[in-house]
Chains A and B, each alone.
Chain A
Amino acid sequence: AQTVTQSQPEMSVQEAETVTLSCTYDTSENNYYLFWYKQPPSRQMILVIRQEAYKQQNATENRFSVNFQKAAKSFSLKISDSQLGDTAMYFCAFMNRAGGTSYGKLTFGQGTILTVHP
């Protein structure tokens, strides 16, 4: 079984500044996906960024980038030039890439509430 840990219940950042959200995970699998999802007050889960474990290059999506350290089982999210619309709960999530009964199931971290201040 996998576990995902987010050790920062809440974070805050000033608009236009940079913030990093931490995530560690534990798994015996070698082939998997890692995701960061954003959940604003609307409750809609929005994919922020994804990383495939077999890729060494860190994923980037505009202002969002990750620092993926496979050996350390660490997957942090960096948000640059923070905007007021980034205020939300952020979840780190793990998905086993292998087929079988575990495919498609997401294991989530506890979440980090990010507040961007003007």
Chain B
Amino acid sequence: SAVISQKPSRDICQRGTSLTIQCQVDSQVTMMFWYRQQPGQSLTLIATANQGSEATYESGFVIDKFPISRPNLTFSTLTVSNMSPEDSSIYLCSVVGTGGAWTEAFFGQGTRLTVV
């Protein structure tokens, strides 16, 4: 299993500012994933963060808006830049753990972002 510590758990930010969300895993993982969950909606993958290379962004998400860092195998950050009220969402980081024949995705506690 993997334990993920994500912070902050929530924040209220002014439009036009930026927020950096941190994700710390208790074991080394190759890939970390960042998801967005808009109010009342499902989770959508923003990007995949690989250590030592640029993050890979999904369609509709760009690096200028959501820059990601991955300095080592246990840590990643997601920045939400130049925020607008439409960025108000829950942001979650995730890693995939494997043990023998099984695979499971583990999640951080999520960051509830409100932009005013």
Contact = CB atoms under 8 A, between A and B. Distances in A.
Interface of A: 33, 35, 42-45, 47, 50, 52, 91, 93, 95, 97, 101, 103-111
A97 B101 CA distance: 11
Which 3 pairs from chain A and chain B are nearest by CB?
A45-B107, A43-B110, A104-B96
Nearest to A4: B42
Contacts of A47: 104-105
B42 A44 contact: no
Given A43-B110, A111-B42, A95 B90 contact: no
A50 B107 contact: no
A25 to B, nearest CB: 13
Contacts of A97: 103
Contacts of A42: 109
A45 B107 CA distance: 6
Residues of B contacting A: mostly: strand
B115 interface: no
21 contacts: A33-B103, A35-B104, A35-B105, A45-B110, A47-B105, A52-B102, A101-B48, A103-B31, A104-B33, A104-B48, A104-B96, A104-B105, A105-B33, A105-B45, A105-B48, A106-B33, A106-B35, A106-B45, A106-B94, A109-B42, A110-B41
Contacts of A45: 92, 94, 105, 107, 110
A101 to B, nearest CB: 7
B116 interface: no
Interface in B66-116: 90, 92, 94-96, 101-105, 107, 109-110, 112
